[in-house]
């Protein structure tokens, strides 16, 4: 059930209970009022009949005097008088005033109560005329209660309708932004993170709208970031495939061809009984295989650095330098790697930064010297620096996918990445600072969460 209908139903229930309570109070008040009125009326009527009978004299007009006593109650609102013969038959009855708005029978039965009546005997000389009976008839009094009840019901019902109408209008105006929020949430659930709601209305709801807008903006930014990461991942994978393909073609292919040629020559040399040449060919095949093994290890180390990191970050950096020296022998590498061990996730991200930073320096800067540094600072941070003396990637220039990937990788560990020009020499410095887990609880919890993710 919608919130507006639920609130209206609740308010209607409260008003119905109030109406029922008012009805019960009116019923109780009506009972008391009718009881008092009927008791008073029968007492007054009894006094009147007693006074009339005390002045009654025997004679020819005695019957007429008794008839006048009965007639004196004609038009009374509460009391009916009757003249009963000695046999019990009704000789004469007074006429009760008819109620203006007769009450329903069910209400009369609820409010009438017990019958109130009095019997009066005539003087001894008039015994033959019978007896006088008076009784209270509550029809008119119940009619008054019925009119009062209807009036109160109309007033309360009108009040309830006005209250419900005002509440409905107020809720409609106040909850309309919630309906917009529900629609916006549905759009977000379908993947449309551009949904936005107007930040208006009551202060409490306004805070909810503001929080939703912030959430939608963050989701939109996260979606764009994921798109960039997917594009970057595709580009990096393609670059890795191309580079591995070139390595296999340039480094492994010639030695496979040479090993194949030597292997094909061995049967011919066997037929000639040229044992010395067979030994030379075998040695050549073995050298080719060893050379291919070295290059395969280098490729594997790039694909799975964790195998190298088991021996420490310094060993992994040496393998990285060896990889590049085999391809760029004119570049000089200077290293300053801390020998202490760090958590595996931190060492892996440090190696990836060194790997990507070195790759960027070689590809874009044409350097003659590259410096690699990994040190723990006094404030518990791991400081990673990749510097070169080439043209490099200028800090204010275009940022490639590799740099964006490093920045987001570092941010996921709560670190910071920046590019800066070298102070006294040409070239660029890539500086990364990452909090080392265990120095404080906040950093530890954050890094553990990131590693788990």
Instruction: Write out pLDDT tens, residues 405-417.
Output: 788 788 888 889 9
Which residues lie closer than 8 Å to 307 by C-beta, 6 or more apart?
300, 301
Q: What is the mean pLDDT of residues 266-270?
A: 84
User: Is the pLDDT score of 64 beyond 70?
Assistant: yes
Q: Which residues pair with 84 in a beta bridge?
A: 90, 131
When pLDDT is cut at 50, 70 and 90, the band that residue 449 belongs to is: very low
Higher-scoring residue by pLDDT: 431, 341:
431
Low-confidence winner among 323-337, 340-354, 436-450 (lowest mean pLDDT) = 436-450
Q: What does the CA dihedral 385, 391, 396, 399 come to, rounded to 10 degrees? A: -80
What is the spatial distance between Cα 44 and Cα 73, in angstroms, rounded to a whole number? 12
When pLDDT is cut at 50, 70 and 90, the band that residue 113 belongs to is: confident
Q: What is the mean pLDDT of residues 40-44?
A: 88
Q: Which of 109, 76, 108 is nearest to 93 (CA)?
A: 76
| Percent of the chain with pLDDT strictly greater than 90 | 5
Q: Which CATH number fits domain 327-453: 3.30.565.10, 3.40.50.2300, 3.40.50.300, 2.40.110.10?
A: 3.30.565.10
When pLDDT is cut at 50, 70 and 90, the band that residue 58 belongs to is: low
Q: What is the mean pLDDT of residues 375-396?
A: 80
User: Is the pLDDT score of 439 beyond 70?
Assistant: no
Low-confidence winner among 8-17, 184-193, 306-315 (lowest mean pLDDT) = 306-315
Q: Residue 372: what pLDDT?
A: 93
Considering the chain, what is the average pLDDT of its residues? 80
Q: What is the mean pLDDT of residues 150-174?
A: 81
The overall longest dimension of the chain from CA atoms, in Å, is 181
User: Is the pLDDT score of 62 beyond 70?
Assistant: yes
Q: What does the CA dihedral 158, 163, 164, 169 come to, rounded to 10 degrees? A: 130
Q: What is the mean pLDDT of residues 165-194?
A: 78
Low-confidence winner among 109-118, 198-207, 440-449 (lowest mean pLDDT) = 440-449
When pLDDT is cut at 50, 70 and 90, the band that residue 371 belongs to is: very high
What is the layout of strands, in order, in the sheet containing 416-421? 332-337, 369-376, 381-388, 428-435, 416-421
| Domain boundaries along the sequence of the chain | 3-165, 327-453
User: Is the pLDDT score of 384 beyond 90?
Assistant: yes
Residue 226 gets which letter from DSSP? H
CB count in 10 Å sphere of residue 2: 11
User: Is the pLDDT score of 176 beyond 80?
Assistant: no
What is the spatial distance between Cα 295 and Cα 240, in angstroms, rounded to a whole number? 15
pTM of the full predicted structure?
0.40
When pLDDT is cut at 50, 70 and 90, the band that residue 370 belongs to is: very high
What is the spatial distance between Cα 91 and Cα 285, in angstroms, rounded to a whole number? 148
User: Is the pLDDT score of 447 beyond 60?
Assistant: no
Q: Residue 432: what pLDDT?
A: 93
Higher-scoring residue by pLDDT: 231, 317:
317
CATH code linked to domain 3-165 = 3.30.450
User: Is the pLDDT score of 400 beyond 60?
Assistant: no
User: Is the pLDDT score of 87 beyond 60?
Assistant: yes
When pLDDT is cut at 50, 70 and 90, the band that residue 230 belongs to is: confident
Low-confidence winner among 213-222, 231-240, 365-374, 379-388 (lowest mean pLDDT) = 231-240
Q: Residue 309: what pLDDT?
A: 66
Q: What is the mean pLDDT of residues 70-74?
A: 87
Q: Residue 226: what pLDDT?
A: 81
Q: Tokens 């920046």 correspond to what residue?
A: 418
| Contact criterion met (CB below 8 Å) for 416 and 373 | no
What is the spatial distance between Cα 414 and Cα 288, in angstroms, rounded to a whole number? 46
SS3 state at 408: helix
Q: What angle do CA 108, 112, 113 make, to 5 degrees?
A: 145
Low-confidence winner among 206-210, 258-262, 264-268, 440-444 (lowest mean pLDDT) = 440-444
What is the spatial distance between Cα 217 and Cα 194, in angstroms, rounded to a whole number? 7
C-alpha distances (whole Å) from 309 to each of 260, 304, 338, 354, 447 are 35, 9, 13, 13, 19
Q: Residue 301: what pLDDT?
A: 65
């Amino acid at each position: 059930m919608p919130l507006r209908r639920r609130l209206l139903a609740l308010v209607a229930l409260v008003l119905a209970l109030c109406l029922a309570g008012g009805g019960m109070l009116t019923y109780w008040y009506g009972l008391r009022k009718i009881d008092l009125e009927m008791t008073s009326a029968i007492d007054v009527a009894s006094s009147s009949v007693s006074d009339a009978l005390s002045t009654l004299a025997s004679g020819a007009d005695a019957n007429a005097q008794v008839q006048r006593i009965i007639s004196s109650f004609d038009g009374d609102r509460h009391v009916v008088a009757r003249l009963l013969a000695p046999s019990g038959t009704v000789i004469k009855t007074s006429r009760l005033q008819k109620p203006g708005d007769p009450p329903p029978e069910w209400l009369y039965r609820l409010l009438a109560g017990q019958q109130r009546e009095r019997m009066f005997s005539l003087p001894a000389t008039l015994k033959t005329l019978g007896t006088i009976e008076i009784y209270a008839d509550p029809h008119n009094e119940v009619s008054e209660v019925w009119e009062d009840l209807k009036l109160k019901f109309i007033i309360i019902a009108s009040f309830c309708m006005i209250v419900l109408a005002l509440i409905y209008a107020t809720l409609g105006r106040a909850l309309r932004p919630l309906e917009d929020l529900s629609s916006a949430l549905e759009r977000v659930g379908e993947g449309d993170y551009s949904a936005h709601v107007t930040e208006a209305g009551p202060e409490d709801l306004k805070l909810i709208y503001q929080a939703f807008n912030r959430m939608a903006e963050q989701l939109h930014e996260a979606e764009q970031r994921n798109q960039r990461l997917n594009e970057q991942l595709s580009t990096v994978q393609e670059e890795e495939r191309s580079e591995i393909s070139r390595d296999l073609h340039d480094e492994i292919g010639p030695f496979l061809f040479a090993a194949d040629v030597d292997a094909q020559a061995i049967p011919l040399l066997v037929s000639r009984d040229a044992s010395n040449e067979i030994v030379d060919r075998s040695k050549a095949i073995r050298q080719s295989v060893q050379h291919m093994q070295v290059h395969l290890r280098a490729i594997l180390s790039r694909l799975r650095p964790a195998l190298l990191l088991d021996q420490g970050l310094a060993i992994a950096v040496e393998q990285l330098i060896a990889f590049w020296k085999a391809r760029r022998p004119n570049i000089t590498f200077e290293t300053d790697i801390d020998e202490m061990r760090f958590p595996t996730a931190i060492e892996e991200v440090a190696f990836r930064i060194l790997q990507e930073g070195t790759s960027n320096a070689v590809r874009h800067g044409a350097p003659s010297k590259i410096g690699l540094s990994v040190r723990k600072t006094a404030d518990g941070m791991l400081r990673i620096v990749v510097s070169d003396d080439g043209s490099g990637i200028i800090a204010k220039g275009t940022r490639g996918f590799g740099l964006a990937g490093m920045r987001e990788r570092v941010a996921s560990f709560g670190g910071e990445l920046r590019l800066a020009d070298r102070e006294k020499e040409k070239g660029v410095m890539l500086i990364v600072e990452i909090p080392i887990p265990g120095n404080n609880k906040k950093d530890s919890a954050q890094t553990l969460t990131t590693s788990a993710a």
